[in-house]
Structure 1
């Protein structure tokens, strides 16, 4: 009887091969799982890093916004501004950042903390969808008050003219001064009868007996002389402006524009005092400025819906040279200062028929005013920057105070 011939060595080799294959398969599986887990982990790390850098950039953007806002606004001692809460002293809007590469949106919280000589601005950005994503940046700034007027400078007289009055006034327009010895007019050319003829212009002293800043019945005194004064610096550009203001003209113009205080066309100029600082308006209108130019309903002592400004809350109105010399007429009353930048066109256009409690400033020659006009000198005190509610500051970032978390 023959027995099968089994090759034990071959059988052993087959088992070893199977074992090796199984081990390799296990190793490959482990490597695959490890690679997948590593890739997933790296993907998460990359995503987290991207969102961390994104939210940090958002915080930095909020910080720059906060510093920029501090350049133009006064701040109380401590205010916290977030997208859902805007207390007094905060920016009017805090925009949520959206459309980022990760699809996350971020909202800001700005905190202004006023110290002895600086303000700490802290910007925190936080994810809208994932509140765990957050970053903070802060910096210190120093605010310096910007002054429209030289401190202690008295209010301007009713008329300030870089040139001369080119036609003798007729029709008995009125100018009222607080003291018989006060100048009714200042000229950058000459304080003479030839340059500043009085004509039919009546000059009367008045006394604000009840201190309400309004010329009430019975407060008019006796007629007085047409006193003239002179200021130097003309005929340089903006010489009349420079004689009365400390701030550069373009600085004031730009800040009024940035504040949205530009008005043109009918139903555009709000009645009453300015609702926000600075109290500077740009009248971007060829005129005439009359009843149809006003908007809103106002009622207060000395104020109605045809009034610009208010007693002791005056406004500076700037008429840029691009608009020439529009007339102010009708029954408009203005508390403050009107400034005409044009150096030529007011010689042909004159003034109009409105009442001004304060001063009108021209950068050139002026034609005779019409009848029924009133130029009334007022005393707004020596702190004109506060009275005119300039409310403007410049903020400088203090080097070396940046910090992020």
Structure 2
């Protein structure tokens, strides 16, 4: 018996169709798998690129912060500033930056490398959760010292008054000068007894025989004349300030404020622990020993002392706080400046001891009986900007030195 030829041929065509379908399904599976893997890889690449960009942005943010800090602070030597470890010469705070897209946090480290004529500033950022995500930026800046005083400036006499003494002293307050020919007081108005009456103010010479910066027993000399002088520039805005200082008053206040040196009833005792040694006094007074914070000891220093021998401080009393008295029991090493042109005319000195100078922008009333104004030749130890620990620099970014990697 013979089988029809067409039945075998039909079976062969069905098997071929199945084989083609299987091959096509396999190809489609491979394509789908490849597409999925490619998509996943691209997703990872996009995520890595996004985090790398965030790390770079964090590094550049740190660089901007570091350069801005260098514009107001002295960088004495190479120093590395990392979160949790802030040696001297570092910004007070290093923040953590959080990416807005990924939620990753980035910690940055700042490094100041001191060169012969420039400072290399480097900012390195790394992921807090994944430290393999990192970036860095760097630039070079040139620091130019900023002087509070003119180079070669001498300390002013114990009293510097833009106006006059409104009433003669009573009760024998004391002024001590280093030489009988030195001025005890200078005025921007006049140098006569009508403007600057002596009254009961005693003027005596003294000499720091042992060089410890304080007036010890036996170092007082003979009584001398109440020598008066004048200085130019008055009347005028801040004429007394401008006579003594090179830096504008507004800049000095701004720099002290940026350093956190604004004090009301918590003026730190002893020398300034950070530059600049400029304090803004936000206190209408009277200022007593209770307004001085901390515990201090040493030669000529106790817990009622502001500044220290050969480590003076500049105290600025803005006009908004009037003319607070510094009462007896308080000792100041340095310079006290009163911006008000009117409030001190009826509010004199409260009895504190000053090693240095007091500057008034207007007229001033008589000092109390126990007051002591002691002339000190701080510049004998070096430039006044160094002695007063101004520690201020302006930093300029050097063009063409930016680099990231």
TM-score category (smaller protein):
over 0.9
Between 105-114 and 54-63, the greater mean CA deviation after superposition: 105-114
* Match in the other structure for 1:27: 27
Choose from 333, 336, 343 the match for 1:335: 333
Alpha carbons 2:328, 2:371 under 8 Å: kept: no
* Match in the other structure for 1:184: 184
* Match in the other structure for 1:325: 323
Gaps of 5+ in 2: none
Decide whether aligned partners of structure 1 residues 2 and 141 sit closer, same or farther in structure 2, where only a CA change above 3 A counts: closer
* Match in the other structure for 1:208: 208
* Match in the other structure for 2:244: 244
* Match in the other structure for 1:143: 143
Q: Distance in 2 between matches of 1:26 and 1:373?
A: 102
Tell me the SS of whatever aligns to 2:96.
coil
* Match in the other structure for 1:233: 233
* Match in the other structure for 1:75: 75
- Give the C-alpha shift of residue 171 in structure 1: 1.6
- Give the C-alpha shift of residue 76 in structure 1: 3.0
* Match in the other structure for 1:308: 306
- Give the C-alpha shift of residue 229 in structure 1: 1.1
* Match in the other structure for 1:162: 162
* Match in the other structure for 1:272: 270
Q: Distance in 2 between matches of 1:186 and 1:57?
A: 56
- Give the C-alpha shift of residue 84 in structure 1: 4.4
Tell me the SS of whatever aligns to 2:314.
strand
Tell me the SS of whatever aligns to 1:135.
strand
Tell me the SS of whatever aligns to 1:394.
strand
Gaps of 5+ in 1: none
Count of aligned pairs between the two proteins: 403
Tell me the SS of whatever aligns to 2:378.
coil
- Give the C-alpha shift of residue 152 in structure 1: 0.6
Structure-to-structure mapping, 1:1-16, within 5 angstroms? 6-7=6-7, 10-16=10-16
Structure-to-structure mapping, 1:368-383, within 5 angstroms? 368-381=366-379, 382-383=382-383
User: After superposition, what is the alpha-carbon deviation per residue over 1:100-122, rounded to whole angstroms, capped at 9, x for unaligned?
Assistant: 53232222222211111111111
- Give the C-alpha shift of residue 64 in structure 1: 1.4
* Match in the other structure for 2:258: 258
User: After superposition, what is the alpha-carbon deviation per residue over 1:51-79, rounded to whole angstroms, capped at 9, x for unaligned?
Assistant: 11011111111111221221222223322
- After superposition, the CA RMSD in angstroms is 1.8
- Does the alignment pair 1:91 with 2:91? yes
* Match in the other structure for 1:127: 127
Query: TM-score, structure 1 length as denominator?
Result: 0.95
Tell me the SS of whatever aligns to 1:52.
helix
* Match in the other structure for 1:392: 392
Tell me the SS of whatever aligns to 1:255.
helix
- Does the alignment pair 1:112 with 2:133? no
- Does the alignment pair 1:18 with 2:18? yes
